[in-house]
Amino acid sequence: MRSPTPPPRDYPRGNLVNNIFGVPFDTSAPPNLLKPSQAHPVPVPAGIPQGNSKPIPTNAFFGNLLVEPQNLPIWTHPYSVWRCSDPEFNGLAVAQIDDHMKVFGPEPDKDPVQFFFNPGGIVSVCLGCDSWTNGLPSPKFLDWDKTYVTFSMDNVKFTLVQGMGFVTGVYGQGSRPVISSKVGIASFRKVSASGNCTKFVLRLFDNVEWSVYVNSSEDFDLADRNHFVMKSNTHSELIVQVAKGDFDVYDQTAGCYIEKMHLEGNLNGQNIQYSFNYSVQGNSKSGSPLIWTLPHQYASMEPSMQSRWAQGPDLNSTVKGRMKAFVTNRFEMVEKTPPALPLDPWNPPPNINGNSLELIKQTLQAEVAQFSVEGESDTDSMYTSGKILDKGAYILYVAAFIVKDRALATEWLDKMKRAFERFTKNEQKEPLVYDTHWKGVVSSSGLDGNFYKDFGNTFYNDHHFHYGYHIHTAALITLADRVYSTGKWLDGHKQWIETLIRDVANPNSSDPYFSTSRAFDWFHGHSWANGLFASGDGKDEESSSEDYNFAYALHTYGKVAGNSQMETIGALMMSVLKRSVNSYMLFGRDNSVVPAKFKRNKCSGILFENKIDHVTYFGLNKEYIHGIHMIPVTPCSFYVRSAEFVNDEWNEQHFDDLVKNMDSGWRGILMLNLAIADSKKAWNFFAQSGFNPQWLDNGMSRTWSLALIASVGGS
C-alpha cells in the first residue's frame, strides 16, 4: 500500500494580534458538560467583595493572603511582607534577607548541601496604625490580577506588586502611621525633604539602615526603641514608603508607587519582545517608579533599558540571586523564538533507513498490540490519564509520519480518538467541573476536601502539568486526522481543549471565566505548581520539564490549530523557560545564581519562593530528584537542556552506576534524556534485544524513544 503524503507544513494561520497579551483567547462560557460546582473545599476569603464576579488567581505570589490564616509571607522580591498580628507590632511587616543570613542544612558544612532557605519572622520594619489597638484588621480586597493585589486594613491601603521598589502604605485621613521594628531602632535622622517627600533614615540594632519617605512635612519621633510614630494625625491622605538602605535613587523615585503591572508582547521576526508595564500613583522627582528585576530578566533586557539601570542598590532575592534596580515605567525584554527542533511543528520527520527503521516498525507493531490506550487511560486522575494519552499520541505520530503505515496509523488514530473522547464527553471516572467560586476547571475527585486526590487538582495544583499532556495529545490527533481522516476532528473538540488552555494560560483579565495566567508567573519566568494551600515557604515547583512541556504543548497546539496567539505565547514561554530553568532549576558550569555549596546538586529538587530543597514530594532517590526534571523527554527537552549540562549531570551524579541497578521506569527516563548528549549510547540502550518493558515510565513508549533518538542521529 502506498505511503501517505506527509502532512503539509503550511499550517493554518490565524491573524496575530498586535499585543499577544492584549486580548483573551476566548470569553465564552465553558462547555455545558462541565457542570458548575457551587462549593469548593477552600472558601473564597471574606475580604473579597460580595457579589464579586472577577476570577481570583489561585497560584499567584500573594496566595498566602487568600487562604487561612492569611498571615504567612508574600514575596514581592526583594522584599517579603506579611500581616503581623503581634500585639506590639500590628501591621504589614517587611523583611529583606542578605546572603550571609541564609540557612544551609541539614549539614551546613557539606558540599553540596541538601537545602537552603531564608529565615522568617524578622520584622525589620512594620507599617502599622495607632488605631489598631484591638488587633490587626482583616484584609479587604480592592483589586487584583496575577501580578498585583490591592487590599486595605481599615483605612490603610497596601498594594503589592512583583518587583516593586518600595513597600507602600496609603493612610486615609486622620490615621496616624506607626512604623515599628522588632529588630529595634538604634537611631534615626531626618533628611532634608526630597521632592514632595520628607525622608527619615532608621538605623536598626542590626546596623542596617532603612529609608522612610512620607509625602508631607509631618514629623515623626521615637516613642520607644521599637516604635517610630507620626506626631500628628491632621493629614489628609498620606503615602508612607519604606526601602532597605539609603540610596540616592530612592530620593528620585519616592512619592510614587506602583499600582498595577501589565504584560505586553509582540512577535517581531525571529524575536518576541515583551515588557512589564507599570501603572503608578503619586509623584516622584524622576516621574517614574523604582522596580527590581531578577537575573533572567536583566539578562534578556532590551539594550535601551541600560540607561534606566540604578547602579546603587544591590539587594538579594530569596533563592534567585542578586537583583538589579531600574527607574522606569516599562521594563522591556526580548527573547528569540525557539530554533528548529526535531519533528513537528518545526521539521518534517527525518528519513530513517535500513535496520533502524525496521526496528522502530517492529517495536511499534508490538507495542500497539499490547497497549490498550482506551483501557489504560481510563483512570481517576487527569495527570495519569494525560500521560497515558500522550504516550499514545507519540505512538500515533510515529505510525503516521515516520513508519507511514496507513492501516496501522488509521487503526491507532481511531483508538486515540475514542480514548480522548471519553474526556471531551466528560465521562471519565472523575469528571471535571467548573468551579464557580475561584473560577476554573477542576477535578471533581477532591470536592470532598481530600487534597491528596489527583495530586491536588481540585485545589488547583499542577494544572499545567495535567492539562499539558491532554493539549499535546489533541495537537497530534489533529495532525494525523488531517492526513488519515476527514480533517474535521478538531472542530468537534476544540472548545473542550481550549477551555483547558484558558484555565492554565488565559492571557488577559477580560476573560470573565478564568484568572490570568494561572500557572505561569511571568515575573519569575516559570510556573508555580502549588494552588490553594498556605505555605511558609511560598509557592513551589518540582518539575521544570513538565512546566516547559505545557509551553511546548501550547505552542504545538497553536501551530496545528492555526491560533497564532497561542502559538506565539507558547513560544515565548519556551524561550523564557529555557533562560529561567537554567538559572534557577538546572545548574550548569556557568551558573552564578545559586550558592556555590548548593550548585553541585546540578538540579533544584523542589524550588520554593523562599528555599530550595534537593528532594521530591515522593521520595529521596536520586533518580526521582533528577528524573522529575526530565520527564517527559520530548523535542523541547533538546532546546531547554543543553548537551553540556546533560553530560555533566550524568558524569557528576554517576548515573552510569545508578541506571545499572534500576528496573523501574526511571531508567528509561534517564536513558532517553541522555540522548541529548550521547544519542548513540541512548540508541544502543533502547535498541538492545533484551530490552525490559519495566524500564519504561507509564507515559513513555519504546517506539517513541527509538524514533526520537533516531531523529537526532542516534541510530
User: Which of the residues are catalytic?
Assistant: 462, 542, 546
Respond yes or no on whether the N-terminal peptide bond of residue 289 is cis (omega within 30° of 0): no
Contact, 406 vs 3, CB < 8 A? yes
591: buried, middle or exposed (CB in 10 Å: 19+, 13-18, 0-12)?
middle
Contact, 701 vs 367, CB < 8 A? yes
Residue of 512, 602, 537, 449 whose CA lies nearest to 118: 537
Residue 109: Cβ within 10 Å count: 7
Contact, 675 vs 682, CB < 8 A? yes
Q: What is the DSSP letter of 615?
A: -
Contacts of 288 (CB under 8 A, 6+ apart): 253, 256, 280, 308, 327, 328, 329
Contacts of 648 (CB under 8 A, 6+ apart): 588, 589, 602
Listed as own residue / partner, the contacts of 604-607 with beta carbons closer than 8 Å and 24 or more positions apart are: 604/544, 604/629, 605/542, 606/540, 606/541, 606/542, 607/319, 607/540, 607/541, 607/542
In the numeric block, which cell numbers belong to residue 234?
Answer: 491632621
Contact, 80 vs 133, CB < 8 A? no
In the numeric block, which cell numbers belong to residue 122?
Answer: 524578622
Contact, 33 vs 427, CB < 8 A? no
Q: What is the DSSP letter of 654?
A: T
3-state secondary structure of 709: helix
Residue 411: Cβ within 10 Å count: 14
In 371-451, which residue ranges form alpha helices assigned H by DSSP?
373-376, 382-397, 406-424
Contacts of 455 (CB under 8 A, 6+ apart): 381, 383, 461, 462, 465, 466
Angle of helix 382-397 relative to helix 354-370, nearest 10 degrees? 140
